[in-house]
Amino acid sequence: MSGLVLILITGVGLGALYFLVASGLSLIYGLMHVLNFAHGAFLTLSAFIGWQVAQTLGTDSWGSFLASVAVGAVVGAVFATLTELVLIRPLYERHIEQVLITVGLSFAAVALFEGIWGTDPININGPGWLRETTEVLGARIPNTYWVLMIAAVVVLAALVLFLQKTRYGMIIRAGVENRSMVTALGIDVRRSFTLVFAIGGAAAGIGGVLAMHYFTFVSAHLGSTLLIFAFIVTVIGGLGSLTGAAIASVVVAVLQQFANFYLDGTGDFIVVALLAVVLLVRPRGILGRKA
For position 268, which CATH number holds?
Answer: 1.10.3470
176 within domain boundaries = yes
DSSP state for residue 48 in the 8-state scheme: H
**What was the pLDDT predicted at 1?**
62
**Pairing between β-strand 133-136 and β-strand 139-142 as defined by DSSP bridges:** antiparallel
DSSP state for residue 187 in the 8-state scheme: -
287 within domain boundaries = no
**What was the pLDDT predicted at 188?**
67
For the chain, the straight-line distance linking the first and the last C-alpha, in angstroms and rounded, comes to 44
| Separation of alpha carbons 189 and 180, rounded Å | 9
96 within domain boundaries = yes
Please say whether the beta carbons of 175 and 189 come within 8 A: yes
What b/e sequence results for 37-57 when a residue is b if at least 16 CB atoms lie within 10 Å of its CB, and e otherwise? Answer: bbbbbbbbbbbbbbbebbeee
Give the pLDDT of the chain (291 residues) as one tens digit per residue.
677 888 899 999 999 999 998 888 888 877 777 888 888 899 999 999 999 998 888 767 788 889 999 999 999 999 999 998 888 888 777 778 888 899 999 999 999 999 999 988 999 887 878 878 888 877 888 889 999 999 999 999 998 888 888 877 777 766 655 666 666 666 666 777 788 889 889 999 999 999 999 998 999 999 888 888 988 998 898 877 888 889 999 999 999 999 988 888 888 899 999 999 998 888 888 876 665
**What was the pLDDT predicted at 194?**
85
220 within domain boundaries = yes
Cα-only R_g, the chain: 19
Please say whether the beta carbons of 220 and 117 come within 8 A: yes
Beta carbons within 8 Å of 41's beta carbon, 6+ residues apart: 79, 105, 106, 109, 110, 223
List, in sequence order, every beta strand (DSSP E) within 184-257.
217-218
- Report in angstroms the alpha-carbon separations of 235 from 143, 157, 182, 242, 283: 29, 21, 29, 11, 8
Q: CA torsion sign, 34 to 37 to 41 to 47?
A: positive
Q: Letter for the amino acid at 174?
A: A
Supply the range of the domain harboring residue 136.
2-281
290 within domain boundaries = no
How many structural domains compose the chain?
1
What's this model's pTM, rounded to 2 decimal places?
0.90
